[in-house]
Amino acid sequence: MNKPMILVVEDDHAVRNLITTTLELKQYKFHTAETGGQAVLETASQKPDIILLDLGLPDLDGVEVIRKVRSWSNVPIIVISARNDDHDKIEALDAGADDYLTKPFSVDELLARLRVTLRRLSYIQNSHPAEESVFVNGDLKIDYTSGCVFVEDRELHLTPIEYKLLCLLAKNVGKVLTHTYLLREVWGSVLETDIASLRVFMATLRKKIETDTVHPKYIQTHVGVGYRMIQVSDSSVS
């Protein structure tokens, strides 16, 4: 895909300059906004491909901006914030953010998060209705029609809960899914005791699909927050 247009929402002049200089060097197109109100207006008028959003804005809290944008747009939102508490990350992700980057951050980390989001955008844009019955990511293949899962053409035997968790991650490839979201979708409830069960099921699922659980290829843990399906670079959907 062509270089995307990125909306940078940041009221701190120094941080905004760092981000925009980095984007300019990599030849990304961008617009900027310093307040939540401007961010919502710019999103509506400029239709950015990705939003980089600070939470600590002078007029609206960034989480409120996410909720407003999510009421009419699915544009990917990467939160960039000094708030590093798990509760803040979870609140932003549950409101609809796609990723969360904590200040201070390196330029390389910012660019890596952008690449992950772009791969997810490309995956979504290149998916066609006739192709949605099969998901392929590297050596992992999910046949939604038959309910079968394969790794390197070897069929795996998953429990119903493991299969549902894998499908949720696959259908949101590249996006962090919080514990709350996964529990609500799979168990229909969000109890503290359910988080322990979720961790157990994720551990057994990993053992079945990963060749090296210490260095996972497919499922990434975001400690205290949730899980993400990694987009393997040589994968495709067929």
Same domain, 115 and 10: yes
Residue 193 lies in a domain: yes
Same domain, 203 and 111: no
Residue 234 lies in a domain: no
Same domain, 193 and 84: no
Q: Pseudo-torsion of CA 174, 175, 179, 181, nearest 10°?
A: -130
Closest of 31, 24, 66 to residue 47, by C-alpha: 31
Same domain, 41 and 63: yes
Q: What count of other Cβ atoms lies within 10 Å of the Cβ of residue 41?
A: 12
- Domain boundary pick from 103, 124, 145: 124
Identify the pLDDT of residue 233.
Answer: 67
Residue 235 lies in a domain: no
Q: Are strands 50-53 and 140-143 parallel, antiparallel or unpaired?
A: unpaired
Secondary-structure percent of the chain, ordered helix, strand, coil, rounded to 5: 45, 20, 35
The answer to whether residues 140 and 158 touch, using CB atoms and an 8 Å cutoff, is: no
What's the domain count of the chain? 2
Alpha-carbon distance of 200 to 164, in angstroms, equals 14
Residue 153: domain span: 129-229
Same domain, 111 and 144: no
Same domain, 200 and 224: yes
Sheet containing strand 50-53, strands side by side: 29-33, 5-9, 50-53, 77-81, 99-102
- Domain boundary pick from 86, 104, 124: 124
Identify the pLDDT of residue 99.
Answer: 85
The answer to whether residues 4 and 31 touch, using CB atoms and an 8 Å cutoff, is: no
Give how far Cα 5 sits from Cα of 20, 125, 174, Å. Answer: 12, 16, 19
Per-residue pLDDT of the chain (238 residues; tens, 9 = 90+): 567 899 999 999 999 999 999 999 999 999 999 999 999 999 999 999 999 999 999 999 999 999 999 888 888 899 998 887 778 888 888 888 888 888 888 999 899 889 878 877 776 666 544 446 889 999 999 998 888 899 998 999 887 788 989 999 998 988 899 998 898 888 777 777 678 888 888 999 999 999 888 889 999 999 889 999 998 864 333 3
- Domain boundary pick from 124, 154, 183: 124
Same domain, 87 and 197: no
Residue 236 lies in a domain: no
Same domain, 20 and 113: yes
Residue 238 lies in a domain: no
Same domain, 20 and 87: yes
Closest of 158, 134, 156 to residue 146, by C-alpha: 134
Same domain, 11 and 116: yes
Identify the pLDDT of residue 113.
Answer: 86
CATH number at residue 182: 1.10.10.10
Identify the pLDDT of residue 119.
Answer: 76
Same domain, 107 and 211: no
Report which DSSP code applies to 198.
Answer: H
Identify the pLDDT of residue 127.
Answer: 55
Q: How many C-alpha atoms does 33 have within 13 Å on its Cβ side?
A: 28
Same domain, 14 and 73: yes
Identify the pLDDT of residue 139.
Answer: 92
